Amino acid sequence: MSISKTEAKQLLERMIFEETHPQDWVQDVWGLSPLLGDSAAKLFEVFEALIECCPESQLENLLQSYYQQNFMSDDQDYPNQN
């Protein structure tokens, strides 16, 4: 089952920003340091541009890769306890 760009963007945002809305994250970083905040704003701008220009199939492959890495590292961090 393929996912749309909107769904891929939402999933990637959750992975990167967790519970924080991306614009809120940029503002939080800006509040800590205007120089870092400017970089955070540029990063988010590039993130959005990449989502728009990347084909859905590549976004889906990227998500699958990251989720597999995440689950594999979680399994290694918490081995089965019998």
pLDDT in tens, 47-78: 999 999 999 999 999 999 988 888 776 666 55
Model pLDDT, residue 74: 63
56 and 2 in contact (C-beta within 8 Å)? yes
pTM of the shown model: 0.74
CA–chain centroid gap for 81, Å, is: 31
The amino acid that residue 78 corresponds to is Y
40 and 33 in contact (C-beta within 8 Å)? no
Instruction: Give the whole-angstrom CA distance, residue 24 versus residue 77.
Output: 31
What counts of helices (H) and strands (E) characterise the chain? 4, 0
